[in-house]
Amino acid sequence: MSLSTVAGARLVARKDLRIEQHSRVALAQMLPFGMLVLILFAFALDPSRDVLTRATAGLFWMTVLFTSTLAVQRAFAVEVDDGALDSIRLSGISAASVFLGKVSALVIQLLVLEAVLALGVAILYNTDFGGWAMLVAVTLLSTIGMSAAGATYGVLVSRLRHSSTLLPLLLLPLLAPVLIAATKGSEVALGQEAGQSWSWVALLAVFAISYLVLGVVLYRPLLEET
Amino acid sequence: MTTPDPPPSDSLRSVPRADPAVELRSAVALLGRFPALAGCDLEVASGEIVLLRGPNGAGKTTVLRVCAGLVPVVEGSARVLGVDLRKDQSGVRQRVGLVGHSGGLYGDLTVVENAVFFAQASGLTHSDAMQALDRMGVATRLHPVAVHSLSAGQKKRVSFAAMLSRRPELWLLDEPHSGLDESARDDLDALLAAAAGAGATVLMASHELDRAGDVAIRTVDVVGGVTT
């Protein structure tokens, strides 16, 4: 019996979050990595506190971007390590469900990581947060976009040799528009730059929706062996 | 493993079929550019237990993966459980069970979480998963243990349970006896016989010819991607 797309996605997301709950890779490795990057940026730019303050949004999203590639890698390593991906392909879960489940689990994990990293930014970079509605919109859409693109490319490279080095090479240039739009939108929200911040939010929405649609459509062939 | 008597339970699907369960004709399958199957012919009747034997790299695993609908057939014909795999490669997947070299499990999840996940992924229930674990003799004390902490033999039992909970019509087993102790091997043989008795078809690849040959009804040699 096949599951509905939503039921299948929920099952996959719950399974991924359960894996994280047991392994605590995000908590024990990705989060410290992200905090370390923030601290290193702070050390590197501290003599010029003004630069650090002005670059806060960019440094934050750069850190999130690096951390997200680790999260994507981890999300697919658990599928290929012991051949579980074959078991998934033999189950009643549709490819679209696998994609949406993976994206959901990544979004939840990244949002938690971003919340802690934001706290780190507030302490290390002495940032005053404002423009909450805009920040929440930027954060949510950026995270969905990164997760959707990550899940699409993650499965593409997961079965290749050297996938761990190949993924960032493919993913980082692809996510450049998200980095730019999230940084600009955050700067406007934080009052560091004047401008039409909602246009950046719109750009992030287009990116997120495009990759969600692309993933749902393309996941079936991407899951297959060639 | 629990010896499967009395035989057919809800976990051993009984499906009498007139057509062969597996019918490969001059099937060609590629792994990259390498023809892992180079014109393979194979016919397996429903309820049969067939052993594939041959040297390493002969194509035994590929035959199993083709029958599972995981590897495409690019030339020739392939029908499994009545499904034409050239037209619908994935159409047969939910009806077959595959236990391969790798366990196909999530190492960070517990035994129960794995079994329940794969049962629910196939639209079955928590109790189906528990029944399958019980049937495979997976001790209750192991249920909350992460799969990566298990021994190879225990892991294999969990893989079988995950497969069994899906109630497959065609069992595809790659080296099913490896990693199991003598008593577990006996139980596995009894389970295979019971499954075949209940109408399921078993196609397995093995190098342990004494053990697998005893339980198999027929043996097929695979050499260089073709059956001989």
- Tally A–B CB contacts below 8 A: 86
ipTM for the whole predicted complex goes beyond 0.95: no
Domain containing B155: what range? 22-227
For residue B22, what are its two tokens? 């597996």
**Helices (H), strands (E): how many in chain A?**
11, 0
Rounded Cα gap, residues A193 and A122, in angstroms: 18
Q: For residue B68, is it within any domain?
A: yes
pLDDT digits (tens, 9 = 90+) for A116-162: 999 999 998 888 888 889 999 999 999 999 999 999 999 988 878 77
Beta strands of B96-169 (E only): which ranges?
96-99
pLDDT in tens, A184-210: 999 988 887 777 778 999 999 999 999
Question: How many angstroms separate the CA atoms of A58 and A186, rounded?
Answer: 9
Instruction: Locate the domains of chain A by residue range.
Output: 5-223
Tell me, what's the pLDDT at B1? Answer: 52
B102, B159, B171: which to substitute to probe chain A, counting the most A Cβ within 10 Å?
A: B102
Residue at B129 is within a domain: yes
Residues of B in contact with A102 (CB under 8 A): none
Distance from CA of A211 to the nearest CA of B (A): 25
Per-residue pLDDT at B215: 87
Residue B223 lies in a domain: yes
Phi-psi region of A162 (alpha: psi -120 to 50; beta: other; left: phi over 0): left
How deeply is B51 buried, as exposed, middle or buried, from its count of CB atoms within 10 A (0-12, 13-18, 19+)? buried
Does B145 lie at the interface with A, CB-CB under 8 angstroms?
Answer: no
Angle between helices A176-189 and A197-223 (to 10 degrees): 150
Q: Which residues of chain B have pLDDT under 70?
A: 1-18
Question: Nearest CA of chain B to the CA of A71: how many Å?
Answer: 16
Give the count of domains, chain B: 1
B91 vs A: CB within 8 A: no
Give pLDDT, residue B3.
45
Which pLDDT value is given to residue B5?
A: 42
Which CATH number covers residue B213?
A: 3.40.50.300
Nearest residue, CB atoms, A83 vs list B102, B117, B147: B102
